[in-house]
Structure 1
């Protein structure tokens, strides 16, 4: 995540959405590996495509 400025999230709805463990893993994978499809994320994260 080099070169990416952290953002402060203060909206309660956004905070709740970002608190979900799978969403955190998805965001981390996207930050580390770049753009991906739901199928690609599912493979990387060991989830099904419906979850991603």
Structure 2
């Protein structure tokens, strides 16, 4: 079971980093739709993983 918690934490970290980069690109390029959609989608996925996995 600890292996799946580790995988969930790793995926959560990766998705959070992609979300930050996507939102940062949206602000920098001032083109909201492509990067903001990717950033918001990955942020939602990271939040879902964070809430669904029990972090003891």
TM-score, length of structure 2 as denominator length:
0.31
TM-score, length of structure 1 as denominator length:
0.33
Q: Is the radius of gyration larger for structure 1 or structure 2?
A: 2
Task: Indicate the structure with greater helix content.
Answer: 2
Which is bigger in relative contact order (C-alpha 8 A, separation at least 6)?
A: 2
